[in-house]
Amino acid sequence: MTTNIPSGDNTLIRETIAIREIGRLERFLGPENYRIVTGLVKTPASIMGFILIGLFVIIALAAPLIAPPVTPNDPYKIPRDGFSSEPRPMMSAWERKPPPLPFWWKTITGTDKWVHILGTSQGQYDVFYGIIWGTRTAFRTGLIVTIATFLIGTIIGSISAYYGGAVDNTIMRVVDIFMTLPFLLAALILAAVLTPRIGKSLYPAVIALITFGWMGYARIIRGDILSIKERDYIMAARVIGVKDSSILFRHIIPNAIFPTLVLASLAIGDVVLSFAALSFLGIGTEVGYADWGQVLSFARNWITSLNTYWYIVVWPGITLVLFVMGWNLVGDALRDVLDPRMRGKT
Q: Which of 260, 262, 274 is nearest to 324 (CA)?
A: 274
**In angstroms, what is the minimal distance from the CB of 115 to other proteins?**
24
* Three-class DSSP category at 288: coil
- The H or E element that residue 92 is part of is strand 92-93
Pick between residue 49 and residue 69 the one whose CB is nearest to other proteins. 49
Instruction: Find the part of the chain contacting other proteins (CB under 8 A) among 16-24, 80-88, 257-265, 326-334.
Output: 326-334
Please, which residue, 253 or 295, has the CB nearer to other proteins?
295
141 binds other proteins (CB under 8 A): no
Stretch that binds other proteins, among 76-84, 126-134, 158-166, 175-183 (CB under 8 A): 175-183
**Residue 25 in the binding site for other proteins (CB under 8 A):** no
Q: Is 320 in the site for other proteins (CB under 8 A)?
A: yes
> If you compute the radius of gyration of the chain from its CA atoms, what whole number of angstroms results?
25
Helix (H, G, I), strand (E, B) or coil at 342: helix
- Chain CA centroid to CA 166, Å: 34
Q: Is 183 in the site for other proteins (CB under 8 A)?
A: yes
Which residues ranging from 275 to 314 are in contact with other proteins (CB under 8 A)?
276-277, 280-283, 293, 296, 299-300, 303-307, 310, 313-314
Q: CA-to-CA distance for 149 and 209, rounded, in angstroms? A: 9
Distance CA 154, CA 169 (A): 16
Distance CA 5, CA 21 (A): 8
Binding region for other proteins (CB under 8 A) out of 91-99, 107-115, 130-138, 184-192: 184-192
Q: Which of 41, 65, 185, 287 binds other proteins (CB under 8 A)?
A: 185
Task: Verify binding: residue 172, other proteins, rule CB under 8 A.
Answer: no
Spatial contact of 226 and 161, defined as CB atoms under 8 Å apart: yes
Nearer to other proteins among residue 40 and residue 273 (C-beta)? 273
Selected binder of other proteins within 68, 266, 328, 333 (CB under 8 A): 328
User: Is residue 192 near other proteins by the rule CB under 8 A?
Assistant: yes
Contact between 269 and 58 (Cβ < 8 Å): no
Return the residues of window 195-224 that contact other proteins according to CB under 8 A. Answer: 195-197
Minimum distance from residue 314 beta carbon to other proteins (Å): 8
The string over 253-272, giving b where at least 16 C-beta atoms fall within 10 Å of a residue's C-beta and e elsewhere, is: bebbbbbbbbbbbbbbbbbb
Work out whether 334 is an interface residue with other proteins (CB under 8 A): no
Considering the rule CB under 8 A, would residue 188 count as an interface residue with other proteins? yes
45 binds other proteins (CB under 8 A): yes
State in angstroms the smallest separation of the CB of 183 from other proteins.
Answer: 6
H helices of the chain, where?
Answer: 11-16, 24-29, 31-40, 44-61, 63-66, 103-109, 127-163, 165-180, 183-198, 203-211, 215-229, 232-239, 244-246, 253-266, 268-280, 292-297, 311-338
Helices (H), 62-126: 63-66, 103-109
Q: Shortest distance, CB of residue 271 to other proteins, whole angstroms?
A: 12
| Distance from C-alpha of 119 to C-alpha of 81, rounded to nearest angstrom | 11
Please report, as ranges, the residues that interact with other proteins according to CB under 8 A. Answer: 45, 173-174, 176-178, 180-186, 188-197, 273, 276-277, 280-283, 293, 296, 299-300, 303-307, 310, 313-314, 317, 320-321, 324-325, 328-329, 332
